[in-house]
């Protein structure tokens, strides 16, 4: 089960609305390398992990990603507060507004709704952890690109925090992959799948 | 400590605690990190009490009934976060 804490992992206080920027940042809610996909990926993959160390790592990082969804949504929410219809039209927010008003809906910057097709849960330790390493890098690059596009210091401050977390998670997943290979046959890591084959790695 | 300082301090202590927790997932035998973890744990618990008495309870289990609904939500203005 999960227990909610009524606070953000990193406090966010955005002074000025900017619906144009919100439409870029929402991609980290519902885009291909966003936090929703990240969380669902790790919280789904963890069930096939054969060792407690990796079940723990995926549970913990998957849970942290839930708090990042909340942070990204908070940024979008605060950037779209108190908008006039004039501002909505001028800043190109009308296409989002017509379907969602200023509610939060998981889409990519392109407008495509979030899809589980953006991740895999393969039931194989090496495969899943390798995907996780790539996923953290893809999210890191997205945050780098957001920082190139953002001219609001309040927004960039929170985005820099989220970017740094991708780097830390990448590091932890690398250590997790190393741990996994240490449990397997050093002559052939792929000889069997410890998530499926009985007596694999024993 | 004002509300904004309190929020920052609790976020910082909880962040250090969480980051050490993730580190310990892959380095469970690092005694120095376990020591640091225990220090931040105490710091976080102290700040949490102060935060909850000023800003409202952090978890539904601690807030009785409607008390949970009265304090502002983390994305809103007027809360300890915003």
Asked whether the beta carbons of residue A9 and residue B21 sit closer than 8 angstroms, the reply is no
Domain membership flag for residue A202:
no
From the CA of A59, how many Å to the nearest CA of chain B?
A: 10
- Give the residue numbers spanning the domain of A83: 19-183
Domain membership flag for residue A116:
yes
What ipTM did this prediction achieve? 0.95
Q: Name A107's bridge partners.
A: A113
Domain membership flag for residue A201:
no
Alpha carbons within 13 angstroms on the beta-carbon side of residue B10 total: 26
Query: What SS3 state is found at A113?
Result: strand
pLDDT for the residue B77: 81
Asked whether the beta carbons of residue B58 and residue A13 sit closer than 8 angstroms, the reply is no
Query: What SS3 state is found at A201?
Result: coil
Decide if A63 contacts A2 (C-beta within 8 A): yes
Tell me the two tokens of residue A23. Answer: 């439409």
Mind listing the pLDDT tens digit for each residue in A74-84?
999 999 999 99
Q: How many domains does chain A have?
A: 1
Tell me the two tokens of residue A173. Answer: 């997943």
Domain membership flag for residue A46:
yes
Mind listing the pLDDT tens digit for each residue in A131-180?
999 999 999 999 999 999 999 999 999 999 999 999 999 999 999 999 99
Domain membership flag for residue A195:
no
Give the domain ranges of chain B: 3-70
- For the entire predicted model, the pTM comes to 0.97
Nearest to B75 among A53, A60, A78 (CB): A78
Mind listing the pLDDT tens digit for each residue in B24-57?
999 999 999 999 999 999 999 999 999 999 999 9
Instruction: Give me the numbers of helices (H) and strands (E) for chain B, helices first please.
Output: 3, 0
Asked whether the beta carbons of residue B26 and residue A172 sit closer than 8 angstroms, the reply is yes
Decide if A69 contacts A36 (C-beta within 8 A): yes
DSSP state of B71: S
């Amino acid at each position: 089960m999960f227990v909610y804490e009524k606070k953000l992992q990193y406090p966010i206080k955005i002074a000025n609305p900017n619906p144009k920027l919100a439409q870029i940042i929402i991609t980290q809610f519902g885009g291909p390398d966003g936090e929703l996909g990240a969380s669902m990926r790790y919280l789904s993959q963890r069930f096939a992990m054969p060792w407690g160390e990796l079940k723990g790592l995926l549970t913990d990082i998957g849970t942290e990603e839930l708090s990042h969804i909340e942070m990204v949504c908070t940024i979008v929410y605060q950037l779209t507060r108190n908008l006039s219809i004039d501002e909505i039209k001028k800043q190109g927010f009308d296409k989002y507004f017509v379907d969602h008003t200023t509610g939060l809906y998981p889409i990519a910057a392109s407008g495509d709704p979030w899809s589980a097709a953006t991740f895999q849960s393969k039931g194989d330790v090496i495969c899943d952890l390798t995907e996780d390493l790539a996923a953290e890098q893809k999210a890191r690059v997205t945050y780098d690109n957001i920082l190139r596009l953002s001219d609001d210091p309040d927004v960039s401050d929170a985005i820099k925090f989220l970017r740094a977390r991708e780097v830390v998670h990448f590091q932890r997943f690398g250590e997790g992959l190393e741990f996994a290979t240490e449990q397997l046959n050093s002559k052939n890591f792929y000889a069997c799948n410890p998530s499926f084959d009985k007596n694999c790695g024993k | 400590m004002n509300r904004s300082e309190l929020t920052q301090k609790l976020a910082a202590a909880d962040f250090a605690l969480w980051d050490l927790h993730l580190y310990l997932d892959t380095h469970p035998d690092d005694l120095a990190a376990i020591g640091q973890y225990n220090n931040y744990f105490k710091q976080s618990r102290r700040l949490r009490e102060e935060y909850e008495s000023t800003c409202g309870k952090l978890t539904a289990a601690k807030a009785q009934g409607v008390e949970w609904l009265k304090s502002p939500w983390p994305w809103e203005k007027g809360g300890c976060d915003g």
